[in-house]
Amino acid sequence: MQLNPEKLISPEKALEIILEDVQLTSVRNTAVVDSLFRVLAKDVFSAVNLPPYNKAAMDGYAYQKDDESTNYHIVETIPAGHVPLKSISKGHCSKIMTGGMVPKGADRIIPFERAFEKNGFMTICKIDHGKHICAIGENITKGEMVFSKGTFLRPQEIATLSAIGLNEVFTHFPPKLGIISTGSEIIGAGCHLKPGTIYDSNGPQLLNQARALSIPAKYYGICEDDPSQLEKFLSVGIDQNELLIITGGVSKGDFDFIPGVLKSLKTEIKFEQVEIKPGRPMIFGKNKKCFIFGLPGNPVATFILFEIFVKPLALRLMGHHYQPRISKWELGEKIVRKKADRHEYFPVKIVEDKAYPLRANGPSHINLMCQASGLICMEKGIEVFEKNTLVAMREI
């Protein structure tokens, strides 16, 4: 059944539509050290055991755990990076440093602080039942699949890839992403603020929300509320990108030209309104190979809608099925709202293990987000969250 793009739809349905027809970006060989926030295009298997040998977890003396000798003859000292020259038998031990290869015959290390050394012999002063040995392959075994394709690479994944000796991996290119701010009242930072004008925050904000995903977005600047100028900006943005974000001009006002211009450019509009606050007027469509978001001009809505809708699509284009990080907190105070006709997102701040809603002075109160730990949602139909209600916070 054909969906009416002007119909008000739920956020869940909107996200389903956004993610339903995605072609992944191309694949490239990427240096592991430069792969932060990229997405793996192929499964990764380890060619080595990790650790690759039985490794000392502490500085100490390697000996046999069943050996109850009074004194142990120190047969050699094993620094990290050196192969032991001698094996261990009863009455003998090797002095070993953290990271050193455990010699054959030894299966326990007594830490230096629990032993006494004199004239080439070691005496155990205080029993320690810990092995203090990292066994070969106890973290990763040779041939094991370490990460599956679609894995989002954070510093910890990069460390793991490096630990198994990889210097390159196959990842998806980040999508070409363009950003256009619209509004005759909008001016760039550094310009003189005349009566009736405001500085553009949406462009820099979206640019850096994209960069936080390692997507080198292109900012096309500010376009006035003029259909012919908007058509030029949008035509270029559509031709040059796989994902285009436009802010402002998407509602039903006399100077909200974006819906009409997108339709004149033969954009397939999927929807124009979502049951969400802030941000009910939100356009999503596709033109050629470019996905297009038309976001409202208010900065708080733009920030939130990027997190909820744009980020999942940007990452899906790279092969990653994004799930936001959710944590549970008790509310520090009651929340009451006048209307419950939409799903409403509130920025909250965590203070002494409680979530407190941040009170906005209006939809342009973007500096409020600087204090926010995350977002909580009051679903449609819910008017009150009582104090101490356990809420799910979407971390940002």
Q: Does domain 28-48+145-172 have CATH number 3.90.105.10?
A: yes
Instruction: Label the pairing between strands 44-45 and 145-147.
Output: antiparallel
Pick among 3.40.50.2300, 3.40.50.720, 3.40.980.10, 1.10.1200.30: CATH of 8-26+173-317: 3.40.980.10
Q: Which H, E and C letters describe 243-303, residue by residue?
A: EEEEECCCCCCCCCCHHHHHHHCCCEEEEEEECEECCCEEEEEEECCEEEEEECCCHHHHH
Name 83's Cβ contacts closer than 8 Å, sequence gap at least 6: 101
The string of DSSP codes covering 173-207 is PPPPEEEEEE-TTEE-TTS---TT-EE--HHHHHH
Q: Give the Cβ contact number of residue 349 at 10 Å.
A: 15
The two three-digit tokens of residue 224, written as one number: 């006035």
pLDDT in tens, 161-201: 999 999 999 999 999 999 999 999 999 999 999 999 999 99
d(CA 58, CA 131): 10
Percent of the chain whose pLDDT exceeds 70: 98
pLDDT in tens, 254-308: 668 999 999 999 999 999 999 999 999 999 999 999 999 999 999 999 999 999 9
The reported pTM is 0.88
> What strands, in cross-sheet order, belong to the sheet with 243-247?
8-9, 268-274, 281-287, 290-295, 243-247, 177-182, 218-223
> Per-domain residue ranges for the chain?
8-26+173-317, 28-48+145-172, 55-134, 326-395
Q: Over range 8-27, report the average pLDDT.
A: 95
**With 60 as the cut, is the pLDDT of residue 57 above it?**
yes
d(CA 385, CA 377): 10
Please, what's the b/e burial string for 214-232 (b: 16 or more CB within 10 A of its CB; e: otherwise)? bbebebbebbebeeeebbe
Cα end-to-end span (Å), the chain: 36
Superfamily of domain 326-395: MoeA, C-terminal, domain IV (2.40.340.10)
- Say what the pLDDT of residue 2 is: 47
What pLDDT band is residue 36 in, cutting at 50, 70 and 90? very high
**With 80 as the cut, is the pLDDT of residue 225 above it?**
yes
The two three-digit tokens of residue 110, written as one number: 């007594």
- Say what the pLDDT of residue 30 is: 97
d(CA 74, CA 115): 12
- Say what the pLDDT of residue 54 is: 98
- List 61's β-bridge partners, or say none: 95, 110
Pick among 2.60.120.260, 2.170.190.11, 3.40.1380.20, 3.40.190.10: CATH of 55-134: 2.170.190.11
Written as one letter, the residue type at 366 is I
**Dihedral angle computed from the Cα positions of residues 69, 73, 74 and 75, in that order, rounded to the nearest 10 degrees:** -120
Closest CA to 319 of 208, 143, 153: 153
Alpha-helical segments (H) within 196-343: 202-211, 227-240, 258-264, 299-305, 311-317
* Length of the chain (residues): 396
